[in-house]
Amino acid sequence: MTRKRKPRRRMVYSTTAGFNDGSVIACGPERKPSAKRMKEDGIFIDDDGVFKESHYSASYWKTWDVEQRVKAVTILANRLNTRRAIRELVLPEIAGIAATLDRIERRLDAIERSVDGGKSSQGAAE
């Protein structure tokens, strides 16, 4: 019986097209640039594997045909809905965690002060 191999996962490198606010409306795979090209052109690959981004102004939108506009509108609407969901669901939880950590830190500081104070008062009594 042979062992099943774990599939090899490779990073997918890509180029993106989007608007100046950072919203990406298109992405395409591309070969990873060579080390020489990266050094010569000053290419940086981000954590998502993107190494080339093209940004367009909103006025460029008018030059697209209807099919391109429909696809872009769907992508932008999904982006907006995702940002709103994160803002409503995740950010309040993060704020709650931060408040809890602040309380824990204050209590730890108070404990450390009381322990330090106890040592210094013992040292002064001797």
In the chain, % helix, strand, coil (3-state, to 5) comes to 60, 15, 25
Q: What span, in angstroms and rounded, lies between the C-alpha atoms of 124 and 54?
A: 69
Do 42 and 79 touch, CB atoms closer than 8 A?
A: no
Span 4-38, pLDDT tens digits: 888 878 888 999 998 888 888 889 999 999 999 99
- pTM above 0.85? no
Span 81-118, pLDDT tens digits: 998 999 999 999 999 999 999 999 999 999 999 988 75
- Of residues 81, 99, 100, 77, the one with CA closest to residue 89: 81
